Structure 1
């Protein structure tokens, strides 16, 4: 257990209340499962703090962190230059490639197939940054101000409002099991995901980084990874 934890005496995780397995989702009883959910609980125990989720819409994450409505953001935050202007970040707890989701049979298998096509992604995300590299495609930003931005992109794809969308591969693997959807192609971007901390709170950042280092070194993070994402390679050195 780490001494001198954050003065709030809680570990309140800002996250989205939407289904995105294997990262997070809630069952019929309201219990939240998944890799990120379990990691939040694990870090809270390591810090010796009580744990709770602080649900926000995606677009409200950073204003909520700034306003003190939560202590960290632990919810699919690839560490980008833009996000580093909004918060400080821990060392990565995950590394993922990106993929392009299409309607099954659409035969969009490379970036060159997306010329003239509408490609969605969450606005100002690493996914949108990748979409913007696809020469000749029409980028369609999704603002994240709804209850389920991933669901919004899936609906738009199914309705023909977009031809494809970009997200991290881990979020798209379950969707590819749907009868009408498939992954068109993947891009080995190796995006690092981190936990966001209110800017300038160096002591808290150090404490969360210490907790993360502990669960990496003792094998607990690897066990969570292999429990929830056995088909993906664990991206950190093993003991």
Structure 2
């Protein structure tokens, strides 16, 4: 086996989105990927003695790419849901987040009751959409994730009046709420668990990634990168 093939075997290909979603992930002008999930991917690969490569896909293509062996795992904002567990196997959680509803600044929306008759966006088949579907009387608008920037698509639709609000995890919306025309209408303490998706049937890889994740939780490295990127959010796995 030549050196190139040996190196390829040592590289984790991490399926993720190539869009700006700080503090989770984004690229600087030189193409380097920053953020909590980016650092976690590198940390897990390093813990397993491997390098990593980010394999960029549109949101809607994550699971087809995983099935086609275009990456070993999906590490990109995947709340663990019953639906997603039909598509892949998941590690133990590496993050836990609440959800929030984003509106235009000045909107009177402050609770689910204020969304009756309103159009509410969310990514299709996501935990965010599942929450939107509990808001009695609202009109749910799914976003398919088949573009380069599904979060940007929802923001644009909100600004253009095509939707009245959209749901996402609070970690993604807190930075957006700093923009002059956007605000968080209300939050819901759903405590969604996020996990790393691995192709079904690959129990050996799942076990290894879980072991690496347990290691970085136990030695404090996961908490360190959490507090680096998300100091305003409580670390969900206790003190190490």
TM-score band, normalised by the shorter chain?
over 0.9
Query: 1:30 and 1:79 mapped to 2: Cα distance?
Result: 29
Query: 1:237 and 1:20 mapped to 2: Cα distance?
Result: 25
Unpaired runs of at least 5, structure 1: 1-6
Matched, 1:203 2:186: no
**Secondary structure of the structure 2 residue equivalent to 1:173:** helix
Report the CA distance between 1:107 and its aligned residue. 1.2
Matching residue of 1:187: 188
Report the CA distance between 1:68 and its aligned residue. 0.4
Query: 1:136 and 1:26 mapped to 2: Cα distance?
Result: 39
Query: 1:193 and 1:176 mapped to 2: Cα distance?
Result: 22
Report the CA distance between 1:10 and its aligned residue. 1.8
Q: How does 1:1-239 map to 2 (within 5 A)?
A: 8-239=9-240
Matching residue of 2:3: none
Query: What is the aligned residue count?
Result: 233
Report the CA distance between 1:80 and its aligned residue. 0.1
Matching residue of 1:4: none
Query: 2:35 and 2:19 mapped to 1: Cα distance?
Result: 12
Runs ≥4 in structure 1, deviation > 4 angstroms?
none
Query: 2:229 and 2:111 mapped to 1: Cα distance?
Result: 29
Q: Deviations over 1:152-187 (max 9, x none)?
A: 000000000000000000000000000000000000
Report the CA distance between 1:237 and its aligned residue. 2.0
Query: 1:107 and 1:9 mapped to 2: Cα distance?
Result: 53
Query: 2:15 and 2:43 mapped to 1: Cα distance?
Result: 15
Measured on the aligned residues, the alpha-carbon RMSD in Å equals: 0.8
Report the CA distance between 1:11 and its aligned residue. 1.0
**Secondary structure of the structure 1 residue equivalent to 2:217:** helix
Q: Deviations over 1:90-117 (max 9, x none)?
A: 0000000000000000110000000000
TM-score, normalization: structure 1? 0.97
**Secondary structure of the structure 1 residue equivalent to 2:232:** coil
TM-score, normalization: structure 2? 0.96
Query: 1:236 and 1:107 mapped to 2: Cα distance?
Result: 35
**Secondary structure of the structure 1 residue equivalent to 2:93:** coil
